[in-house]
Structure 1
């Protein structure tokens, strides 16, 4: 049996998210996650087993001018796309599911819960162009491609910007 719980600033849970993120992406998220919890509209969820094993997590916040990723995305889209997608937007920052627990509906549950009750008109996210599993999940959930490719920096792979109308 698994539980879906709201993210809090519990150090033990933050450390578990850090471990899972490193296992999946081979880099740290702890500092960024702690910083993001202070952003306007922050919300997030975890899925844990009865034994408190972390299976996955997702979080996001209101995307606002002045924030790093909001500014990066706004440079990549037209004025019309900005008005449509970024003007009143919730940004899905992370969705991470333990590799052994993928394709069991946990990612879908996390995203659904994350967006439930969000008052923004739209939501946006980015994922790697070649991440076909994630793209398929998002497409199944009604997300559409806003821009492809999107290259955040010279050191990174190509991404796709996806959007979903919420209200």
Structure 2
């Protein structure tokens, strides 16, 4: 059996790697070409937000096989305006304040289940100034939700619907630093 390539996690200029990142996201999330193109200007806009940063998972010879990006949350952001009513209803809307939001986290399917997603999310949140992190994930039992729970994220609101998506999402939050497996 051939050894798997060593993957390095490091800060990246995601805007410069946008095509590669969107390819990883499409493969990991099952997106069509049209869905990918809708996301391109959204990611570009996010990366211009104050405090936005990204980490990449790079396999030799520098191929992007995973990424995470996020930023300090701002209640004026579109995402926050959508999740605020369900969070308020569940008594958790205070999580929108002083939180670092994980905007996207994706790992190429060939590199999943190797700890890369865990390394990406802990790496980016370890440098956050905020005391907690929030994110949204498809509201179904999945490896991603299992990963988030293992790191200390818990459901804050469920069955959240975003415009133009048919899947319900869960909003999850965790105190920082994220829990480590010991």
TM-score by length of 1: 0.91
2:12 is aligned with 1:7: yes
Displacement of 1:131: 4.6
Matches within 5 A, 1:84-103: 85-103=95-113
2:93 is aligned with 1:82: yes
Matches within 5 A, 1:1-167: 1-9=6-14, 11=16, 13-25=17-29, 26=31, 27-28=35-36, 29-78=39-88, 80-83=91-94, 85-153=95-163, 155-166=165-176
Structure 2: unaligned runs, 5 residues or longer: 1-5, 178-182
Secondary structure in 2 matching 1:66: coil
The answer to whether the 8 Å contact 2:14/2:54 transfers is no
* Cα distance in 2 for residues equivalent to 1:93 and 1:5: 17
Segments ≥4 residues shifted beyond 4 Å: none
TM-score by length of 2: 0.84
* Cα distance in 1 for residues equivalent to 2:164 and 2:45: 24
RMSD: 1.7
* Cα distance in 1 for residues equivalent to 2:164 and 2:27: 24
Structure 1: unaligned runs, 5 residues or longer: none
Residues 135-160 of structure 1, C-alpha deviations (whole Å, 9 max, x = no match): 10001111111111212236421111
Displacement of 1:113: 0.5
